[in-house]
Amino acid sequence: NPNASFTKDVLLSQKFLTQQQLIQGAVLHPASMEQALKLVLDSAETEDSFFVADIRDFFNQFDTWVKHIPRVKPFFAVKSNPDPVLISILASLGTGFDCASKSEIKQILDLGISPDRIIYAHPCKPSSHLSYAYSKNVDLMTFDNSDELYKMKKLAPNARAVLRVSTDDSNSLCRLSLKFGAPMDTTHDLLTTAKKLGVNVVGVSFHVGSGCHDDSAFIDALSRARTVFDQAEDLGFNLSLLDIGGGFPSPKEKQGAKFSNIAANINSTLDKLFPPSLGINIISEPGRFFCSSAYSLAVNITSKRTVSSAPQTLTEVKNDIKNSEEPSFMYYINEGVYGSFNCIMFDHQIVYPEILVNDGEFVYDNPCEQSQIEKRFESSIWGPTCDSIDCVVANTKIPELFVGDWLLFQNLGAYSRSAASKFNGFESSTVFYYDSQQTKKC
Among candidate residues 108, 275, 121, the one with its CA nearest the CA of residue 207 = 121
174 belongs to the catalytic site: no
142 three-class SS: strand
Q: What stretches of 198-248 show up as alpha helix (H) in DSSP?
A: 217-234
Asked if 336 is part of the footprint of ligand PLP (rule: CB under 6 A), the reply reads no
Pick the closer one to ligand PLP by CB: 285 or 400.
285
Q: Write each residue from 226 to 255 as x if it is in contact with ligand PLP (CB under 6 A), else as -, in one continuous string.
A: -------------------xxxx-------
Pick the closer one to ligand PLP by CB: 336 or 413.
413
Among candidate residues 96, 158, 159, 95, the one with its CA nearest the CA of residue 123 = 159
Positive or negative CA dihedral for 230, 234, 237, 238? Answer: positive
Residue type for position 163? L
Choose, by CB under 6 A, the member of 96, 256, 286, 383 that binds ligand PLP: 286
d(CA 277, CA 296): 43
Pick the closer one to ligand PLP by CB: 80 or 166.
80
174 three-class SS: strand
Rounded least distance, CB 248 to ligand PLP, Å: 5
d(CA 341, CA 390): 9
d(CA 223, CA 225): 5
Rounded least distance, CB 355 to ligand PLP, Å: 29
Rounded to 5 degrees, what angle do the CA atoms 113, 80, 91 make?
A: 25
Asked if 210 is part of the footprint of ligand PLP (rule: CB under 6 A), the reply reads yes
Rounded least distance, CB 220 to ligand PLP, Å: 17
Asked if 296 is part of the footprint of ligand PLP (rule: CB under 6 A), the reply reads no
The span of 62-70, 104-112, 281-289, 423-431 binding ligand PLP (CB under 6 A) equals: 281-289
CB 434 within 8 A of CB 77: no
Choose, by CB under 6 A, the member of 121, 162, 257, 270 that binds ligand PLP: 121
Choose, by CB under 6 A, the member of 38, 153, 288, 417 that binds ligand PLP: 288
CB 408 within 8 A of CB 365: no
Q: Write each residue from 162 to 201 as x if it is in contact with ligand PLP (CB under 6 A), else as -, in one continuous string.
A: --------------x-------------------------
Choose, by CB under 6 A, the member of 77, 155, 221, 266 that binds ligand PLP: 77
Asked if 74 is part of the footprint of ligand PLP (rule: CB under 6 A), the reply reads no
Q: Which DSSP state fits 25? A: G
Positive or negative CA dihedral for 100, 103, 109, 115? Answer: positive
The one catalytic residue in 174, 386, 391, 442 is: 386
The catalytic residue positions are 386
Query: Interface with ligand PLP by CB under 6 A: which residues?
Result: 77, 80, 98, 121, 176, 207, 210, 245-248, 285-289, 414
